[in-house]
Amino acid sequence: MNLAPNGSRPAARAYGGMLTAPHALAAQSGLGVLMDGGNAADAIIAVAASLAVLYPHMTGIGGDVFFLYYDAGRGEVVSYNGSGAAAAAATIEHYQERTLDAIPERGGAAVLTAPGAVDSWFALHERFGSIDMARILAPAIAFAHDGAPAARSFVAAVARLRDLLAADEGAADLYVEHGPRRVGERFVNRQLAATLRAIAQHGRAWLYEGEGAQHIERYCKRVSSPLRAADLAEHRGFFTTPAAGTFYGSTSITAPPNSQGIAALIAQQTYEAYASLPIHGSLADGSAARAHAGIEAIRLAFADRDACVGDPREPLSWERLLAGEHARALAQRIDPNASFVQSESGVDRGDTSYFACVDAAGNAVSFIQSLFHSFGAGVVVPELGFPLQNRGTAFELSLGRLRSLAPGKRPFHTLMPCMLLREKRPWLVYGSMGGEGQPQTALQISTRVACDEMDLQGAVEAPRWRYGKDPTDECARVRIEARLGAECVTGLRARGHIVEVVDDWDESMGHAGAIAIDRAQGLVTGAADPRGDGAALGV
């Protein structure tokens, strides 16, 4: 790997443990747990809980989780599906009786799946954790009770969504009446501090079977949500085998469906197959030729994803899509001089938090936690101090389709943690927030690191593109950071892409994080995205 820096900040390097998170204080909370004798599992839960306080527009107790965990002692990676299923009362008829032909994106009707975050924390802790949960949650409780400086992204989200938040009693009180208006302003959330304290003392049962569940049910009834305490009591995430492909000599892994992660694996393999064809010559980083190849690989991967990614119980053979023959066939469909016309993917939205940790023993975790849209459904349970997700809006209110709504069914999920393995051990732990942008960011970062051997921080900071639709778009377009340059923009437009140039450092490109492991030197290197408010910290 080329270690010459080419970004705005140096990578973090250490011989012990490493954390990367989209908020620096969250990274510090995880680092403190490592220094107190905790392992990667303990530290990542501390980060997750702290982000629920510090980045409440992006993530929290009311959302879902997917993670990959490498157990160094056993030499194996497991995946965890912490997504919540649709409530028993969340039927197509429930919405049709309310004259709705689609699930609303916001408000009580958008709250229809159980939140899986806290269940995921305890599942990870029970299987891999090493220190007491009260110690792990202590930093988050302190941030909530005493207050913490409001991050840039948080303040911007409150200002942008003030009308939405004002429409809900809990959200209005917490974020409009008492929310931050300036970056660095102290934000206190005593309700969330009490919630976290109760979880630390009584465990997951407090939220899923006890007082927390009762508070959620009472408020859900008030805002016309079908979610009830019985749905929380039924919730259990589950461990499973990661989805796996190949990429430039490495095994590339992510969470299997209902996660969209296989889109990244398909795109990686398609890009590599395309780039290997001599007729295409050099695909230099920053060139229109490389961006075009990546965009077309993503388009094709999204078509595969949309045909087969739904509830994990669906008997669909998605594994065949990860075979080399399929990638080579897709690569042959890419015209180097013209964009590929196909049905457009859905509206591209999503606010999420990605973070990762590697400890001194070599355990590694790639973790992603989300409310889906900013502040989820915009519904905050007043007594608990956190928003509820709107992930159920991925369901369709029509019968017989892959993503048709049904009680007990898990929705399509954009969340996707990533790792690259060599000799069955992780050497790159990485991911990003950003809805449909997640596989696109994964493709661009992994290509720069695995193919170009770029400095890790430089790979995260390098200018990115993102394909998809915003709510106001008539058709999908490619948004491209201005730093990629006029030549790249012109080359993409000449190939038929609809291109919109955005700011040099555009938050819509995601808050990526990555950790590289050099086992020969015992060195861990961490990178954090300046598009967020985060840091990579080593010990």
Note the pLDDT tens digit of each residue in 230-281.
Answer: 999 999 999 999 999 999 999 999 999 999 999 999 999 999 999 998 877 7
Q: For 146, phi and psi rounded to 5 degrees?
A: -90, -20
d(CA 265, CA 252): 7
- Look up residue 297 and give its two tokens: 């690989």
Pairing of strands 18-21, 64-71: unpaired
The pLDDT assigned to 5 comes to 46
Residue 447: DSSP 8-state? I
CA angle, residues 263, 239, 539, in degrees to nearest 5: 85
Q: Are 272 and 325 in contact (CB under 8 A)?
A: no
Domain boundaries, the chain: 15-59+101-236+371-394, 240-349+416-532
When the pLDDT of each residue in the chain is averaged and rounded to a whole number, the result is 94
* Residue 271 vs residues 126, 172, 264, 422, 466: alpha-carbon distances, Å: 39, 46, 10, 20, 16
The answer, yes or no, to whether residue 6 has pLDDT greater than 70, is: no
Residue with tokens 């994964």: 442
Pairing of strands 64-71, 364-372: antiparallel
The pLDDT assigned to 145 comes to 98
Q: For 379, phi and psi rounded to 5 degrees?
A: -115, 120
List of residues 6+ apart from 341 with CB closer than 8 A? none
CA angle, residues 296, 83, 68, in degrees to nearest 5: 70
Q: Which CATH architecture has domain 240-349+416-532?
A: Orthogonal Bundle (1.10)
Q: Which residues pair with 232 in a beta bridge?
A: none
d(CA 429, CA 365): 7
d(CA 518, CA 421): 12
Nearest by Cα to 44 from 54, 35, 34, 36: 34
- Using DSSP, state whether 305 is helix, strand or coil: helix
d(CA 12, CA 366): 17
User: What percent of the chain is predicted at pLDDT more than 90?
Assistant: 88
Q: For 512, phi and psi rounded to 5 degrees?
A: -85, 155
As a whole number, mean pLDDT of residues 500-525 equals 93
Catalytic residue among 113, 195, 270, 352: 352
- Using DSSP, state whether 457 is helix, strand or coil: helix
Q: Which residues pair with 432 in a beta bridge?
A: 512
Residue 521: DSSP 8-state? T
- Using DSSP, state whether 377 is helix, strand or coil: coil
pTM of the full structure: 0.95
List of residues 6+ apart from 9 with CB closer than 8 A? 457, 461, 530
As a whole number, mean pLDDT of residues 194-200 equals 98
- Look up residue 455 and give its two tokens: 């400095």
Digit-coded pLDDT (tens) for 25-82:
999 999 999 999 999 999 999 999 999 999 999 999 999 999 999 999 999 999 999 9
For residue 214, the tally of other CB atoms under 10 A from its CB is 13
User: What percent of the chain is predicted at pLDDT more than 70?
Assistant: 96
Digit-coded pLDDT (tens) for 72-107:
999 999 999 999 999 999 999 999 999 999 999 999
* pLDDT range class, residue 343, cuts 50, 70, 90: very low
The pLDDT assigned to 317 comes to 77
> Would you call 235 exposed, middle or buried from its count of C-beta atoms within 10 A (0-12, 13-18, 19+)?
buried
The answer, yes or no, to whether residue 526 has pLDDT greater than 50, is: yes
As a whole number, mean pLDDT of residues 146-175 equals 96
Catalytic, 472? Answer no
List of residues 6+ apart from 14 with CB closer than 8 A? 523, 524, 526, 538, 539
d(CA 466, CA 392): 24
- Using DSSP, state whether 279 is helix, strand or coil: helix
* pLDDT range class, residue 362, cuts 50, 70, 90: very high
The answer, yes or no, to whether residue 8 has pLDDT greater than 90, is: no
Q: Are 361 and 130 in contact (CB under 8 A)?
A: no
The answer, yes or no, to whether residue 346 has pLDDT greater than 60, is: no
Q: Which residues pair with 387 in a beta bridge?
A: 380
Q: Are 79 and 134 in contact (CB under 8 A)?
A: no
- Using DSSP, state whether 239 is helix, strand or coil: strand
Residue with tokens 């591209």: 348
- Look up residue 101 and give its two tokens: 């032909």
